[in-house]
Amino acid sequence: MKSMITNIKSECRISNIETSSNFEFRISKLSRISDFGFRILLGVIIVTLCFTSTVSEIVRAQSTSSTFTESLTTNGVSGQPPSIPTGLKATAVSNSQIDLKWDASTSGGIYPIVGYLIFRDSSFLATTTALSYSDLGLMAQTTYSYTVESFDSDNVLSGQSAPVSATTLANTPPNNGGGGGGQGSIELHILDIKIVPDLNTATVSFKTNAPAQAKIFWGQTTDVEMGSLSELVYGKDHELQITGLHSGKTYFVRIEAINNQGVSISTVTQFTTVSPVPVYPLANPSSFQAQPKEDHIALSWNNPSDTRFDSVRIVRSETFFPRDQFDGVPVYEGKGQLFNDSDVTAGKTYYYAIFAKGIDGQFSSGALAQARITKEGEIVISPTSTDPFANIPESQNVDPMIRALTLSDFDFIQEGKILVQINDTIVAVNGGENLVISLKYEKVPEVLKTIAITLTDPKDPTKVFPFLLRVNADKSAYQATLAPLGRSGSYAMSIVVLDYQNQGLVRIHGSLEALAFAAVPAFTRAVQAGVDPLGFLFLLALILLILLVLAILRRHHREESEWNVIVPGRASINNHHLDHRHPGSPG
């Protein structure tokens, strides 16, 4: 090959040949190749280099008249260790703790820094991903030397930093001077206390003006008798988490801090854990009615305004009211509020139950209605009530637990609060909010039964709206959620419990006294448009005040006009009196 290269007389140059492997080939001072076989060999070498990434130098040939050189350069491969950590500092904060801090290393290539190795007195101590470390359990008045070394995700080490040393403090007797101290001691303060409670936990964080160890005690009295937590590390920023708490309860917590000189300080504060947000059944459709027509039964209702609402499902039975959304023949599913059931026969009574379906697939407890199309020639008797249970007589042949029920056994809940009952017969409710009616599961026996509540329209006693109470998911209560009543008035209420096993019925009477405030249309539109409600109310109040002032001024002006009309007569009377005054009397 040397002889072939020696015979090359002309010189040519090929450079900057790039491949998909990011290699750069450089051929310099290449003499003109006259041998055909060598040209083929050179082509094979170049093709081989294009598909391999492990060759750094393939051919180096030299002759007296020319040289042949090929080199391989890679882009983006690490090959370099991370930079050595700098800025290492060691600070003794107590007789048994030294704190280390340093500056971050930088990557030597494509692999990021993932951690640091810490060495004490040339022996490996610990690994950390942070830029600080607290060395604990040391001997008092002892000098320790430290170095730090970084490593990347390819486990390439940077090399150890320059060593630094620190000497732990001497042992000092405890000083419980409440933040004071002897000569040369640092006054200790607890600052920026923050407590973030949750349902069953609370995070207590605070600062101290000097490095200190923290300890907290907690309990439901000022004796903080329930437990304690301690820190092992001295520091200025402290955070501890209390667990195992009860939701909606108030706790006292005593915070203590002691510094490296034995100076301690404490303070007592309190917090209340978060109360659980009750999850109630989806509100039922309201005003559910079944009206018999000539050839169909017209069903109508109002969908709930509950944000969880998705659609309604109506089922029908020819024997009695369906107990759930799958008990009976489904006749309608959708988001509408009207439906004509034409698959009916005159002379039959049909029992309907409507259920609201939530976006989570859960159903409301259900509302009830019934209707019957009269046969041709049958005498029509107008019903006196739409109460489906009105014609079912009460019976004492029921389970003793059912017979013992009173209205006070039922909870009436709005906005998470149980409403007060008056004389166990009257419940005052907000007609603009959902109403949850709940009966604890253990209050009734586990027998086949129907629990329903009926409300009578205060303006039309013939309209009665029944709702089912159904057991909730965790079997803790029978519940129903009623949509806002929407109108003020006294709603006659009847709670019915049907005992199928003993073929008996118990009826509990009471009333709901509802007070509903109609929304101001302008206010509603303003809030929907994104206007600040408080600002809108203030502006509305200001406008009303201005109108009131204008009305007063107008009335005053009108009174003055009326006064001017009768003044001449009064003036003559006054003049008549003035004419009889004694001389020298004041005017």
Report the run of H or E that residue 310 belongs to, with start and end. strand 309-317
CB-facing half-sphere around the CA of 97: CA atoms within 13 A: 17
Q: What are phi and psi of 467, to 5 degrees?
A: -135, 145
pLDDT value of position 519: 46
Report the run of H or E that residue 551 belongs to, with start and end. helix 533-579
Give the closest residue to 493 by CA, choosing from 412, 396, 564, 377. Answer: 412
- DSSP category for residue 365: -
Are 484 and 431 a contacting pair, CB within 8 Å? Answer: yes
Give the closest residue to 413 by CA, choosing from 434, 431, 440, 432. Answer: 434
pTM score of the predicted model: 0.48
CA distance 23 to 16: 9
Helix 533-579 to helix 521-528 angle (10° resolution) is: 140
pLDDT value of position 472: 87
- DSSP category for residue 146: E
DSSP notation for 387-400 = -TTTTSPP-S-S-H
Q: Give 28's pLDDT tier (boundaries 50, 70, 90).
A: very low
Does 310 have pLDDT greater than 90? yes
Does 105 have pLDDT greater than 90? yes
SS3 141: coil
Does 272 have pLDDT greater than 70? yes
CA distance 381 to 96: 96
SS3 472: coil
Pure H helices in 476-532? 521-528
CA distance 368 to 384: 17
Sign of CA dihedral 30, 36, 38, 43: positive
Mean pLDDT of the chain: 79
In the structure encoding, which two tokens stand for residue 240, read together? 């501890």
pLDDT value of position 295: 92
Of 11-20, 161-170, 518-527, highest mean pLDDT = 161-170
The mean pLDDT value for 268-295 works out to 89
pLDDT value of position 59: 37
pLDDT value of position 438: 94
pLDDT in tens, 140-157: 899 999 999 999 999 999
pLDDT value of position 284: 93
In Å, how far are 23, 97, 183, 338, 563 from 51, measured between CA atoms?
10, 58, 77, 74, 114
Please state whether 65 falls in left (phi above 0), alpha (psi between -120 and 50) or beta.
alpha
In Å, how far are 545, 556, 561, 564 from 552, measured between CA atoms?
11, 6, 14, 18
pLDDT value of position 96: 87
pLDDT in tens, 512-550: 998 876 544 444 455 455 555 556 566 666 776 776 676
pLDDT in tens, 372-430: 998 887 776 666 666 778 777 787 778 889 989 999 999 999 988 899 888 888 999 99
Does 564 have pLDDT greater than 90? no
CA distance 30 to 8: 9
pLDDT value of position 367: 93
Q: Terminal CA-to-CA distance of the chain, rounded, Å?
A: 146
How many Cβ atoms are within 10 Å of 106's Cβ, its own excluded?
Answer: 13
158: amino acid identity, one letter = S
The mean pLDDT value for 51-69 works out to 42
Give the closest residue to 207 by CA, choosing from 183, 239, 160. Answer: 239
